[in-house]
Amino acid sequence: MSRIEHFLARKHLTPVSPGTTPTQGNAPDRLDVDDAPAIAVESLCKQYRTHWAVDEVNFIVPKGWTVGLLGGNGAGKTTTISMIMGLVVPSFGRAMVLGHDMATERHKVLSRMNFESPYVALPGRLTVRQNLTVFGRLYGVANLKTRIEELIEDFELGDVLDRVTGRLSAGQKTRVAVAKALINDPDVLLLDEPTASLDPDRAEWVRSRLRGYQKRRGATILLSSHNMTEVEQLCDFVVIMSHGRVVAMGRPQELAERFKCRDLDEVFIYLARVA
């Protein structure tokens, strides 16, 4: 049986039962957009030539949750996030955001989401103010001046506002990138290593801002990180990937208990070696 036949057979014969945990199972085919989970990843697969970068991944992120997507290098996190953003089209399965298939209907939902990733930079030749203005206008932000002033205050950007973004320190750039990610008050926020280049003090400072935003806005956050302390502090739920597959999911504390580890850090190391 070929890999594809195997996949299809598996998909038909062993559907993941919904409701086993808040983040498992397939969403119904037709779901009212308002009732849809913030993110639903259903049998998601991505094949590059002969390599399966993502291999039948399923999880659901309910609205208002912060979920961590963890895994070692090459685990498939970035590809999964890229498919959720609609930047990569899945080979099989689908990634839904707020009830819309990101492969075919992404433009219906893009104004309600945003992201930050170390792979992507803000235009370095523009000042921070110019960048925030351009992206605010792209997202159609109402009262843009007020929104930028709020972000300047929240992220203490006043002293760098008129400086060229490319000449900022790594930490300052990250703060600006997170501010850009919040410019449109997104309902769904995708963060790839949001504090990777920050010192522990600044990282905690950014985390507190993200927590504050999530609480105030009731936003959904999908976060990829290698910093397990960060994940434990921010995330309600964790999905751990290895070799393109989900190898474990649960609340951080539950996972530690399940694998008889002291904390998530140990769970991560254990799964990286075993899986």
| CA 184, 187, 190, 195 torsion-angle sign | positive
Q: Considering the rule CB under 8 A, would residue 124 count as an interface residue with other proteins?
A: yes
What are the residues whose beta carbons fall under 8 Å from the beta carbon of 32, sequence distance 6 or more? 99
Question: Which of 130, 197, 229, 233 touches other proteins by CB under 8 A?
Answer: 130
Q: Does 145 bind other proteins (CB under 8 A)?
A: no
Of 138, 158, 140, the C-alpha closest to 149 is 158
Query: Considering the rule CB under 8 A, would residue 114 count as an interface residue with other proteins?
Result: yes
Nearest to 122 by CA among 204, 37, 180: 180
The span from the CA of 189 to the CA of 261, in Å, is 30
Q: Residue 247 in contact with residue 271, Cβ under 8 Å?
A: yes
Among residues 27, 41, 70, 88, the one that binds other proteins under rule CB under 8 A? 88
Q: Alpha-carbon distance 5 to 272, whole Å?
A: 29
**For other proteins, which stretch binds (CB under 8 A), given 11-19, 33-41, 130-138, 248-256?**
130-138
Return phi, psi of residue 184, to 5°.
-100, 20
126 binds other proteins (CB under 8 A): yes
Under the binding rule (CB under 8 A), the answer on residue 178 touching other proteins is: no
Q: Report the residue number, 123 or 200, with the smaller CB distance to other proteins.
A: 123
Which secondary structure element, helix H or strand E, spans residue 95, and what is its range?
Answer: strand 92-97
For 243, residues 6+ apart whose C-beta sits below 8 A from its C-beta are: 55, 74, 75, 76, 275
Interacting span for other proteins (CB under 8 A) from 112-120, 167-175, 202-210, 222-230:
112-120
CA-wise closest residue to 170 among 189, 195, 135: 195
Nearest to other proteins of 26, 131 (CB atom): 131
Please select the residue that binds other proteins; options are 61, 110, 151, 267, rule is CB under 8 A.
Answer: 110
Inter-CA distances, 140 with 37, 62, 89, 146, 208, Å: 24, 26, 26, 13, 27
Report in angstroms how near the CB of residue 190 gets to other proteins at its nearest: 9
CB of 133 to other proteins, least distance (A): 8
Instruction: Check residue 115 for interaction with other proteins (CB under 8 A).
Output: yes
Q: Taking CB under 8 A as the rule, which mask of x and - marks residues 201-230 in contact with other proteins? A: ------------------------------
From 13-21, 56-64, 77-85, 223-231, give the range in contact with other proteins by CB under 8 A: 77-85
* Size of site (CB under 8 A) for other proteins: 38
Tell the smallest beta-carbon distance from residue 43 to other proteins (Å).
18
Judged by beta carbon, residue 4 or residue 120, the one nearer other proteins is 120
Which CB atom, from 61 or from 256, has the smaller least distance to other proteins?
Answer: 61
Contact call for residues 183 and 145 (beta carbons, < 8 A)? no
Residues that bind other proteins in the complex, under the rule CB under 8 A: 46, 48, 53, 78-79, 81-82, 85-89, 107, 110-111, 113-115, 117, 119-127, 130, 133-135, 137-140, 164, 180
